Amino acid sequence: MDAVLCARCKGKGLCGNAHCPIMSSLEKMKKVTQNVKTDFFGSSPPSIFVGRIGYPDVSFGALAPAEEGNTAIYDSPSEWFLNNYSIDKIFGLRSSLINSSVKTNVYRSNSFLEKIQDIALASKPLDIEAKYDRPITPDVTIDAYSRVAPSGPRGFMNRLDICDNPHVPIKVDKVVSDTDLGAADAISILNSKDISENHITKLLSAGLLGDEKKRKLVPTRWSITATDDMISKNQIEIIRNFDEVGQFSVFSSAYLGNHFELIVMPGTWAFECIETTFPKSVWNPNGNDVVMYSDYEKYSGRKNYASNVAGGYYATRLPVTRYLKKKKMQASVLSIREVYEDYSVPLGVWLLRETVADAFSKEPKAFDSLNEAMVYVKSRLRLDFTKYLNESRLLKDYRSQRRLFDFRNIK
Residue 6 inside a domain? The answer is no
**Burial of 82 from C-beta contacts in 10 A (0-12 / 13-18 / 19+):** exposed
Residue 78 inside a domain? The answer is yes
Q: Which residues in the chain come in under a pLDDT of 70?
A: 1-35, 144-146, 402-411
- Mark whether 280 and 191 lie in a shared domain: no
Note the pLDDT of residue 259. Answer: 98
Among residues 233, 256, 278, the one where a domain terminates is 233
**What is the distance between the alpha carbons of residues 178 and 290, in angstroms, rounded to a whole number?**
49
- Distance (Å) of CA 307 to CA 192, 295, 335: 28, 8, 16
Note the pLDDT of residue 29. Answer: 46
Note the pLDDT of residue 400. Answer: 77
- Mark whether 226 and 248 lie in a shared domain: no
- Mark whether 247 and 183 lie in a shared domain: no
Q: What is the pTM of this model?
A: 0.91
Among residues 233, 255, 283, the one where a domain terminates is 233
Helices (H), 28-169: 77-82, 87-95, 111-121
Residue 343, C-beta contacts closer than 8 angstroms, at least 6 positions apart? 87, 256, 257, 258, 281, 282
**What is the distance between the alpha carbons of residues 159 and 132, in angstroms, rounded to a whole number?**
7
- Mark whether 225 and 99 lie in a shared domain: yes
Residue 24 inside a domain? The answer is no
Q: Count H helices, E strands: the chain? A: 14, 14
- Mark whether 312 and 394 lie in a shared domain: yes
What is the Rg, in whole angstroms, of the alpha carbon atoms belonging to the chain? 22
Residue 12 inside a domain? The answer is no
298, 359 contact by CB (below 8 A): no
Residue 3 inside a domain? The answer is no
- Mark whether 152 and 288 lie in a shared domain: no
270, 330 contact by CB (below 8 A): no
Q: Which residue pairs, CB below 8 angstroms and at least 24 apart, start in 4-8?
A: 4/291, 4/293, 6/283, 6/284, 6/285, 6/286, 6/287, 6/291, 7/277, 7/283, 7/284, 7/287, 7/291, 7/293, 8/291, 8/293, 8/308
- Mark whether 269 and 319 lie in a shared domain: yes
199, containing H or E segment? helix 197-205
Domain extent for 175: 31-233
Among residues 199, 214, 233, the one where a domain terminates is 233
What's the total number of domains in the chain?
A: 2
- Mark whether 267 and 394 lie in a shared domain: yes
Residue 331 inside a domain? The answer is yes
